Chains A and B, each alone.
Chain A
Amino acid sequence: MPPPAIVTEQLTRIFGAHAAVDHVDLCVPTGAVYGVLGPMGAGKSTLVRLLLGLVPPTSGAAWMMGYNVRTNADSIRARTGVVLQSPGLYENLSAVENLDLYARIWHLPAAERAARIRELLQHVDLWEKRNERVGDWSTGMKHKLAILRALVHRPALLILDEPTASLDAADQEILSDDLTILAHQEGVTVLVTTRDPKEAALCDEVAIMHRGRIVMRGAPQSLGGENAPNRVLITGRGFTQELLGLVNSRQDVRRAQIEQNRLVVEVATEKTCAAIINLLVESGADVTSVIKCNDGLETTYRAILEKNHATEPVV
């Protein structure tokens, strides 16, 4: 079994009095697509900067592909491809010129440079637009090109810091698919940070980050299935506030609320569902349909955010 691609031990970065990254422990297996899911300001970008050696850690340690980020940042960057939140493209230059610049930076020989640029652009159907000024392109196309730029030197590790944050839903989906295909074809380890649980659900493993700390980690299925509450959407009539209070008072109910004439109940286990239906019917409500759903990672993520928001001290 190959050693992990990324290991961090109690990695911390403090800006003034604020801990942007707070005692983070990570272990990213080689060849995996690993997601770091967290809201804006969670410390994801600072974590990426720490791993790339762009900022030094205040305390703790990190190794990428066996290299220490404090002492061997150059070796790490030489083996890594990076896409940051902004595509970071030279907008006055064409797609080929942008890729050619980075191919030269990585000292690719001239013949290999041309072949690699052609291969990458053709793969995402941008070859026809290779000589167009990148500034005239759509945001989605720019992000695609930024990912190609990160892959131009065939890195062992790809780091993507919210690569789809500024895209609309359709472009996000296309780009995520392209990225997954490219990553598996190229056989690289991928670390992707995101605010979108759906995007994180595509990863092999996910760490949920909040206020600089990793609060949960594991495979997306296990995070969603084991920890997320099951939701029951009950449609019908007669859902009064009194009945809502009754449902909310049950110990096996996490939360119940009325949304658009539907009673939405978050239950601890699926077994609770039948008991609630009985309670509603016995109380005189008319239940017409019951839909059980498990939003998995998304539900877990939102629950974590809400819990942390509720416990936030009032200044």
Chain B
Amino acid sequence: MPSDSEAVDAKTDSAQEPLRLGDRFEILPSQAVPALDGIAGPAFGARSIRGRKVECFALICNGDIPPRTEVPTSLSTIDNPGLIRFLDQGVVPWGPDGHRRLAMVFERPLGRRLRTTLDTVLEPIPEDQIQRVVMQSLVPVLKELAGRGITHGGIRPTNLFLRDNNGAAGLALGECASVPPGIGQPAMFEPIERAMAEPAGRGPGSSADDLFAFAVTVLFLALGRNPAQELDDEALLSARIERGSYAALVGNARLPQSLVEPLRGLMIDDPKQRWGMNQLELWLSGRRLSPKQALPLKKASRPVEFAGQDIWHCRGLARMLVRNSGAAALLVDGGELDRWLRRGLLDDVMAEAVASAIEGPLAGGGKTFIDRVVTRVSIVLDSAAPIRYREKSVMPDGLAVALADAHLRRDGAQSLAEILAWQLPTFWVHAQPEFRADLVPVIQMGDAMRALLEKTGPGFGLERVLYEMNPYLRCLSPTVIEYHAITPGELLVALELAAGRRDRARDPFDRHVIAFIAARHKRFEDGVFVQLLTSGDPVRAVAAMLTILGDIQARFTVEPLPALCQWLCTLIEPAFTRFHNRPYRDVARKRVEKAAADGRLVDLLRCIDDPEAISKDVKGFAGARRQHKAIVAETEKLRGLISKPDEATESTGRQVAAVISSVVGILIGVVLGLMLMLK
């Protein structure tokens, strides 16, 4: 994960002219501000265009990390000097070929970033300054965030800024709007459970998690260095599990006595015992509380030997099991785990729960059987820990962001899908020692997403789950990923831009585009989406495409889309062949060309899906076939007559001869009669 100060692939090759963000701000691509680069992307200068004197900067999100787009609306109403103020966001053209990026504008801190990296050693901040400057600056904003139900999720020394040049005005927390909570946090700033999860799978977190991160930050500043510099993340996590976070992080370091109490309280690993905002405020107001001692993990009377290590408690065993699933299966299947739980840990309830957890996957079988067993056993052994399945480790409420991250990195999405398919989030919720109403949505979400996963057609499957779980995620179709489409209307604009590219795909629709529309524009029945890719009938497919896109264009009042229409015209050719009448095909082609030039998708649809014209063509074709059949029959008959004409004309010829003879005879008779009368 890149750090805050490292410029993240600064794509500054866009036009150097100022870019308007709505009607309030202008972004200055020519003015890179590397010192303010964030996890989400590089920073650039920005200015207000309403004449308001506010120094600001813009973060241009690279799009490699799913954005936190649901919170900024709330953040924009916070006007607290302890937090870099969020001002606006929007999508701006950035880079070649009309690519677009999400841009976020923040108020620019007057001072520098407090720490540029976590590895440098600096002079410790004195005790009184920590209390007066750090705590007094940050606690009010933490309180305000907690009051609004917003988790900052990015509290660390490298995300703190001086409010002025010399720091006299205090500190300000860096922005938290550009990335989901915890995604850029080093594991040491997270409570153990969240630290065990991968950064993208930590979930939204809570203010208690912010307070933990705040405590570690204070510890960092008080020591002037990274307290666990010599340990890697895994070793530090093991130490924290073994000894508790406070003990593992502080170690033998000498802390100012006055800070021991709040840090110990805020870094207690048990969330129920951890200090909350009230205790912190009481302490700040001068009331001294008795330091809390973290309760040690329940330790067995004898260790269980696994993977060459002696393990004394469930959390450690659960961690080891998921790393060695093959050996874990033997441990579980051989009954060693059951014996250790009953005799070593003296916990028959957990032993029964483990036995029950094993029974579930037995019904499913399959290749993932061992992985599922190990995951379920690990959840029972450590119910507060994330769901650890294969290489994935995610909190149930962090699945959405983890799934988006996996799609963006094209890695591990299948494992996350299996977590949902095997209902592991529901199992995790049921494994919790107490009922928690806040987890009910997790069960509901799990059931709903599983139902979507079970259907594999277009508009369903993993892609649909991705967009259902991440309502603000942009469409990740390779066709439009660079155009940052969050709404169906924006998707149409993105497709219009993509249509102009030479390397565009044959078909504007792929599984991502369909799933995106299915999740964001719930106006169509599932059958419409199935026709798009699997009907095998290109005419129905293109008609379905035009129906969907036309409806979006009409409802979102999207401007004319001539390039997209031209793109779709390349797919329409089979639609002409449904008409048998050749002249009408030409007429329809001309109509389509005109509709495409106008950029109205509905008109395009009308050209190829005109029931009256189709009916007329069908009737005309049937009539033409009948006519052709009659012509063939008559021609055959005539050819037969021509080949043997005498047979057909013999009788007629004699009749004609008789008639002629009769007529001539009558004429002669009449003439003779007249001659007789005249004589």
Q: Do A and B come from one complex?
A: no
Interface residues of A (CB under 8 A from B): none
Enumerate chain B interface residues (CB-CB to A < 8 A).
none
